[in-house]
Amino acid sequence: MIALGCDHGGYNLLGEIRAMLDGKGLEYRDFGAFSEESCDYPDFARAVAESVASGGAERGILVCSTGIGMSVAANKVRGVRAALCGDCFSAEMTRRHNDANILCLGARVTGAGLALKIAEIFLETPFDGGRHARRVAKITEMEL
Ligand code: RB5
């Protein structure tokens, strides 16, 4: 299950991401926002981050105008490793090396075609483990 969230700035792009997930038959839960009416991105970052951190969702995708606010907010939740990605290489590497569990996208920064490719790569790429597991464990230790 993939947890989805956006604010008004990310609403349209998240719609395209939902359509991509539908096309692949991937299950998701959309935590809103459900319109382009102005709203507060931390509310949706928190809902998605808590869903991922609790194990309710394996991954999350958050979209706001820049992706920055969503990533800052989501990373406040213990167990979350949210990565703001604007290119395919970063999306691949943050899965392989950081075991990132939430992808953040900036709808005013990254075009829809690229954003969908980034999301696909994020969802399909496994964690490399090995020495990267030791490094991720050190990040987790910082939360204690
Ligand atoms: C909303 O205007 C904007 O601040 C938000 O979408 C996001 O970019 C915050 O980081």
CA distance 26 to 35: 22
DSSP 8-state code for residue 126: P
pTM of the model: 0.98
Kindly provide the b/e burial profile for residues 22-52, where b requires at least 16 CB atoms within 10 angstroms of the residue's own CB.
Answer: eeeeeebebbbbeeeeebebbebbbbbbbbb
Predicted pLDDT at 32: 97
Q: Taking CB atoms and a 6 Å cutoff, what residues make up the pocket around ligand 1?
A: 7, 9, 41, 64-66, 68-69
Ligand 1 atom with minimal separation from the 106 CA:
8
Expressed in angstroms and rounded, the spacing between residue 116 Cα and the centre of ligand 1 is: 20
Predicted pLDDT at 25: 98
Which of 40, 81, 83, 80 has the alpha carbon at shortest distance from 64? Answer: 40
97 is catalytic: yes
What CATH number does domain 2-142 carry, 3.90.660.10, 3.40.1400.10, 2.102.10.10, 1.20.120.400? 3.40.1400.10
Read off the pLDDT of residues 65-113 as tens digits, 9 standing for 90 and up.
999 999 999 999 999 999 999 999 999 999 999 999 999 999 999 999 9
User: Average pLDDT over the chain, rounded to whole?
Assistant: 98
Among residues 39, 88, 97, 132, the one annotated as catalytic is 97
- Mean pLDDT on 10-31: 98
Instruction: Tell me which of 41, 104, 105 to substitute to probe ligand 1's pocket, judged by most ligand atoms within 8 Å of the beta carbon.
Output: 41
Expressed in angstroms and rounded, the spacing between residue 134 Cα and the centre of ligand 1 is: 34
Residues 6+ apart with CB under 8 A from 54: none
CA distance 126 to 6: 24
Read off the pLDDT of residues 114-132 as tens digits, 9 standing for 90 and up.
999 999 999 999 999 999 9
CA distance 138 to 116: 31
Predicted pLDDT at 34: 98
Predicted pLDDT at 19: 98
Task: Using CB atoms within 10 Å of the CB of residue 130, give its burial: 0 to 12 exposed, 13 to 18 middle, 19+ buried.
Answer: exposed
64 is catalytic: yes
Q: Where are the domains of the chain?
A: 2-142
Predicted pLDDT at 144: 80
Residues facing 5 on adjacent strands? 62
7 pLDDT higher than 90: yes
CA distance 92 to 120: 10
